[in-house]
């Protein structure tokens, strides 16, 4: 054996010895049930880094999954096409730099997109300022409000899949959109929900937390008022003003979210007012302290029986019975704060992405009907080596596909769309601790 062959052999043996230490494959479920797709064809149509973090996902009635990104300079719309098993970019969303949980579908099949600034962008915080009573909170508001200085406001756009899905667009090309206008001047659109029956779109703005109702038929917007009035900074991230980021439209037309002190509030369509209830979402409360803080609502999900579930910025899962005025705290899936995303799977489990900013997110499920309770599926790591591999850390969106696939939107600077296949009811992941890989 010559020197070159010996060197090759040694490197090969070292690689074999080091491979188990890499722990790329998640031992909590069958590895083939997790994969990812780049946001376009690499170096050709792919949405570039820093503009690719996925911050909104929606499964449309046509079976396709649509997503929107937030970035340093632009926001992009894309779709996952099951026919080709790829993501196709649909173009730049006008002048928006972010679409933060603001995708909805109208009764005519078109998509409604709420634009704004990039909510994931760091907020420059003032280091030195005068002291005094609640000086930090006052300065935080100045710094947060400064991010929207001279900003005209986020636009609401309409996208028609029947016309726009036909072709892939190259980087920088605009998405074909109809601009419906600005619902709240000076603010980004933070969350939206559609009442397809009445064709009303409801939303919350940021940073002023204004609740608005948009009559799609008349193209007329009414600003109802602030959904939260106190300015606190306990989440969903510490440098953000605490504003609820999800809305639920009930069958009777009421629109539910959370408000001051973590109380459930709803928009009454008859009086056109926000009504505060006695129901309080679970979280960390410090009533005895000289402290203004409370959790806000992160996501809503409903099952086939009409049961309504919610999550909070403190990382709790709860079930709510609005008719009886009761909330059941189902627990906290992870020690750290935040449920970053949630969707109901076809196996009737609730799937959640849990973890704070700059912390490795984990996939956790909850079985409302069974004895399983919470299940920790671990971190999202894909290993298709030697072809490709990826271990992801940050996620901010999730939706369930029509075939049961869970689509999870990565929100790091060079983001991908992750696909998790849970399996049918009773699926246990196939992991056998007595026979590890």
Number of C-beta neighbours around residue 117 at 10 A: 21
pLDDT for the residue 27: 66
What predicted TM-score, i.e. pTM, was given to this entire model?
A: 0.92
State both tokens at 391.
Answer: 């271990």
pLDDT tens, residue by residue, 116-163: 999 999 999 999 999 888 899 999 999 999 999 999 999 999 999 999
The token pair that represents 306 in the structure block: 């009409």
pLDDT surpassing 50 at residue 436? no
pLDDT of residue 70: 98
SS3 of 267-336: the string is EECCCCEEEEEEEECCCCCCCCCCCCCCCCEEEEEECCCCCEEEEECCCCEEEEECCCCEEEEEECCCCC
Q: Residue 268 pLDDT more than 70?
A: yes
Enumerate the domain spans of the chain. Answer: 53-420
The mean of the pLDDT values for the chain is: 90
> What is the structure's pLDDT at 98?
98
Tokens for 236, please give them: 């969903």
Domain 53-420 CATH class label: mainly beta
Cα–Cα distance between 418 and 407 in angstroms, integer? 6
Say if CB 78 and CB 89 are below 8 A apart: yes
Tell me: pLDDT of 112 over 70: yes
User: Tokens 């080091």 sit at which residue?
Assistant: 18
Tokens 């076809």 correspond to 346
CB-count exposure of residue 145 (10 Å: 0-12, 13-18, 19+)? middle
User: Which pLDDT value is given to residue 236?
Assistant: 84
How far apart, in whole angstroms, are the C-alpha atoms of residue 320 and residue 151? 37
């Amino acid at each position: 054996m010559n020197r070159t062959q010996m060197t090759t052999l040694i490197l090969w043996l070292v690689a074999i010895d080091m491979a188990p230490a890499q722990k790329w494959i998640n031992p909590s479920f069958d590895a083939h049930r997790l994969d990812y797709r780049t946001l376009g064809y690499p170096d050709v149509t792919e949405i570039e880094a820093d503009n690719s973090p996925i911050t909104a996902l929606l499964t449309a009635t046509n079976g396709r999954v649509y997503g929107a990104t937030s970035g340093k300079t632009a926001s992009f719309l894309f779709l996952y096409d099951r026919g080709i098993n790829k993501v196709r970019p649909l173009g730049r969303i006008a002048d928006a730099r972010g679409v933060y949980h603001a995708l909805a579908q109208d009764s005519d099949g078109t998509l409604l997109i709420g634009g704004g600034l990039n909510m994931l962008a760091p907020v420059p915080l003032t280091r030195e300022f005068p002291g005094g009573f609640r000086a930090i909170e006052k300065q935080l508001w100045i710094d947060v409000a400064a991010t929207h200085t001279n900003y005209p406001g986020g636009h609401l756009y309409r996208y028609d899949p029947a016309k726009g899905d036909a072709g892939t667009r190259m980087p920088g090309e605009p998405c074909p959109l109809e601009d419906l206008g600005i619902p709240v001047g000076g603010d980004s659109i933070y969350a939206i929900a559609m009442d397809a029956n009445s064709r009303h779109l409801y939303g919350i703005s940021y940073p002023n937390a204004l609740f608005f109702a948009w009559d799609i038929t008349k193209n007329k917007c009414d600003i109802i008022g602030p959904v939260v009035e106190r300015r606190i900074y306990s989440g969903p991230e510490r440098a953000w003003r605490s504003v609820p980021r999800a809305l639920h439209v009930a069958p009777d037309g009421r629109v539910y979210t959370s408000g001051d002190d973590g109380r459930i509030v709803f928009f009454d369509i008859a009086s056109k007012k926000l009504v505060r209830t006695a129901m309080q979402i679970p979280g960390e409360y410090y009533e005895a302290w000289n402290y203004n803080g409370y959790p806000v609502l992160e996501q809503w999900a409903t099952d086939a029986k009409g049961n309504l579930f919610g999550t909070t910025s403190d990382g709790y899962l709860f079930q709510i019975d609005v008719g009886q005025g009761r909330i059941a705290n189902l627990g906290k899936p992870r020690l750290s704060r935040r449920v970053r995303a949630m969707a109901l799977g076809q196996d009737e489990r609730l799937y959640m992405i849990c973890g704070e900013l700059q912390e490795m997110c984990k996939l956790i499920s909850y079985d409302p009907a069974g004895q399983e309770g919470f299940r920790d599926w671990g971190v999202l790591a894909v290993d298709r080596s030697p072809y490709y591999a990826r271990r992801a850390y940050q996620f901010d969106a999730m939706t369930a596909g029509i075939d049961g696939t869970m689509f999870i939107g990565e929100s790091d600077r060079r983001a991908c769309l992750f696909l998790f296949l849970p399996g049918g009811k009773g699926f246990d992941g196939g992991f056998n601790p007595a026979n590890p890989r």
